[in-house]
A = this chain, B = another copy of it.
Amino acid sequence: MKLLEDRIIQTGRIINNEILKVDNFLNHQIDVNLINEIGKDIASIYPNANKVVTIETSGIAIAYATSLALNNCPLVFAKKQASKITSNNNYTAKVKSFTKSVTYDISIDKSYLNKGDKIVIVDDFLANGNAGVGLVELIRQSGAEILGFASAIEKGFQGGRENIERLGIKVYSCAIIKAFKDNKPVF
C-alpha cells in the first residue's frame, strides 16, 4: 500500500536500525484519513469477514476502520492482563512479550466469539507474531472460523509471518519492511 509506505518514509522514525516509531499517525496520534484507507485495504483482502478481532491498545483504531469497510460488522478487542484472572467466562491464551521478557494473558469473553463468525484478526504491527499466534489459539477455542490475519506494518525480518502461517492462517500486511538500512526502511 503505497500511501502507507510513503508515510513511513516521510514521518516514521527509525532508531538504531531496529525500532520504528510511528506515533505520529498510528499509535499515539492517529491520522484517521490514513487509517480509513488501511481499513479498506484490509477489508478488500477479507471481504467475507463478519467480525474483526484485535488486541488492546494500538489495534483498536485499525480494527474500527476495518469494520467500517466491512459494513460496520462487530469488532472485539482482546484484553491484556498483567495478573492472571481465571474465569470460566473467558477464552484465554498466553503471549510472550517481544520487548519485555514477560508472558501475559489475553482474554475475550466467550459471548463475543461464536461458531458462525468469520473473523479477520488485525493489529498495528507484525513483528515476531506472538500476539497473532495467541489470538489464533484463543479464537480457535470458540469454533469460530479465522479467515486470516492482517497487520498495517510488518517487519518482515522477524519471523512473524512464518509463525502465523505455520498455524494454517493466511497473513496480509499493508506495508512490509524487508530491512532497516541506515535508519531507513527498505520495502
**A residues within 8 Å of B by Cβ?**
23-24, 28-33, 35-36, 56-57, 60-61, 64-65, 67-68, 72-77, 79, 108-109, 111-112
- Chain B residues positioned under 8 Å from A108 (CB to CB): 28
The one of B36, B65, B77, B111 in contact with A24, judged by C-beta atoms closer than 8 angstroms, is: B111
Cβ–Cβ contact B109 & A30, under 8 A: no
Stoichiometry, copies per complex: 2
Some 12 contacts from A to B, beta carbons below 8 A apart, are: A29-B75, A29-B76, A29-B111, A30-B76, A32-B64, A32-B67, A32-B75, A36-B72, A60-B60, A61-B75, A64-B64, A64-B65
Closest Cβ of chain B to A68, distance in Å, is 7
Name the CB-closest residue of B to A68: B32
Among A24, A29, A65, A112, the one with the most B-chain Cβ atoms within 10 Å of its Cβ is A29
- Chain B residues positioned under 8 Å from A28 (CB to CB): 76-77, 79, 108-109, 112
Closest 9 CB pairs of A and B: A32-B72, A29-B112, A56-B57, A32-B67, A60-B60, A29-B76, A57-B57, A30-B75, A64-B64
- Chain B residues positioned under 8 Å from A31 (CB to CB): 74
Bound Cα distance A151, B28 (Å)? 20
- Chain B residues positioned under 8 Å from A23 (CB to CB): 109
- Chain B residues positioned under 8 Å from A79 (CB to CB): 28
Cβ–Cβ contact B77 & A32, under 8 A: no
